[in-house]
Amino acid sequence: MWDKRLRRVYLHYNRRYFGDKLPKDIELVWESLTGSLFGYQMGDKIALNAKMKHADVIWRGTLLHEMVHLELPANVKHGPRFRKRMRELVAQGAFDGLI
Whether residue 92 has pLDDT greater than 70: yes
pTM of the model: 0.92
* pLDDT of the residue at 1: 44
Compute the radius of gyration of the chain from its Cα atoms: 13
* pLDDT of the residue at 42: 92
Whether residue 2 has pLDDT greater than 80: no
With beta carbons less than 8 A apart as the criterion, state whether 2 and 27 touch: yes
* pLDDT of the residue at 34: 85
Structural domains of the chain sorted by starting position, each given as residue range(s) with its CATH number in brackets? 4-92 (3.30.2010.10)
* pLDDT single digits (tens) 81-90: 999 999 999 9
With beta carbons less than 8 A apart as the criterion, state whether 24 and 44 touch: no
Cα(27)–Cα(29) distance, integer angstroms: 6
* pLDDT single digits (tens) 30-77: 999 987 789 999 999 999 999 999 999 999 999 999 999 999 998 999
